[in-house]
Amino acid sequence: MREYTPSWLAVEESMGGQRTALHGSPEEMRKQFDGMLAALAPLYPPPSDAVESKDHEVGNFKVRVYTKSRASDAPLPIGLFAHGGGFVLGSLDSEDAFCRLLVEHAETVIVSVGYRLSPEVRAPAHLEDGIAALKWVLENAQFFGGDPAKLYTIGDSAGAQMALSITRKVKTGQAKVASDSVKGVVALVPAAFLPGFVPKEYEQEYTAYEENATNVPILDRQSTQQMVEHTGMTTCGADYFVGLDPESHKLFPPTYIVTCEFDPLRDDGIVLAKCLENAGVPTRYDHYDGLPHVFWIFPNLPETKVFIENLLKGVDWVIKQM
């Protein structure tokens, strides 16, 4: 029998015993999301003096560059980060603490992309912003101590989907940058497939979309369906769902993937990891039983500490493959 961890059940109990996912119109989802972040904010430590950040305008959106306060002797690898939120929610601020943690504890610079959201724009505008941010980073890395020869994409949820999508565009020569511009991927709980369009050999394994359709927190099937409707991303096919282009898998750089048990996207990550491994791509994978989508946004969970330790190891592994 599948069970949540006792620590997660304690978190739910502290929130009144509710197990709710984000639902509704974009405005309703944003209100729910902002309320959740506001409730969690007091649990986070104040920003560390070890990290500095600066915002830059890139066309119709902003990027935020995170660097170590003490300059490094040599340029550092660059993580091009995309936040989660189904391309409907989130901002540069929503995962500011996450980016600061990475820069403080890993040998990396992070450039976070404040891509435009739906329904104000429709797909593929989000991905176009991500690729524009990549080009900006390659052109400006020298000004913030980054090494453009050691760039990886990174994100969680929709941000992981974007990290994979940017990488595919680059590796297949569709991004108007050198195909070796992206040297690695960190994809945390990504979407990669569409139900009904999974490789035949993995159809029996692709069950999370049904298993976690309801009674799971943060993200359930209705959440994913509504985000798809709000963004129009399914019309973009493999440009947003890299699992639909198996020929591109062999082109991918070393990739680190994370999945969670009580997540409708669980099997997207599991199956993608197998596809990449079978295509000869160096692949690292961590899975968290008994926990929901992006559980690590709850800093008081003991499993969040484990996740951070594994994340830092995963990022270090990707960098060392370059």
Task: CATH number of the domain at 248, please.
Answer: 3.40.50.1820
Could you give the percent of the chain with pLDDT greater than 90?
96
42 pLDDT tier (thresholds 50, 70, 90):
very high
Cα–Cα dist 253/289, whole Å: 27
Question: What pLDDT, on a 0 to 100 scale, did the predictor assign at position 1?
Answer: 72
Query: Which of these is catalytic: 94, 112, 157, 165?
Result: 157
What is the residue range of 278's domain? Answer: 6-320
- From 83, 126, 249, 293, the catalytic residue: 293
Does residue 267 lie in a domain region? Answer: yes
Residue 111 placed within a domain: yes
Q: What's the confidence (pLDDT) of residue 17?
A: 86
126 is an active site residue: no
Burial label for 321, CB within 10 Å (0-12, 13-18, 19+), is middle
What was the pLDDT predicted at 39? 94
What is the number of structural domains in the chain? 1
Give a yes or no: residue 161 inside a domain: yes
Give the burial class of 185: count Cβ atoms within 10 A of its Cβ; 0-12 exposed, 13-18 middle, 19 or more buried.
buried
Q: What does pTM read for this prediction?
A: 0.98
* Selected catalytic residue, list 220, 263, 268, 286: 263
List pLDDT tens digits, range 164-202: 999 999 999 999 999 999 999 999 999 999 999 999 999
Q: Within a domain: residue 166?
A: yes
Query: Is residue 260 in a domain?
Result: yes
- Tell whether 1 is covered by a domain: no
Give yes or no: 293 in active site: yes
Q: Is 263 a catalytic residue?
A: yes
Average pLDDT over residues 132-159: 98
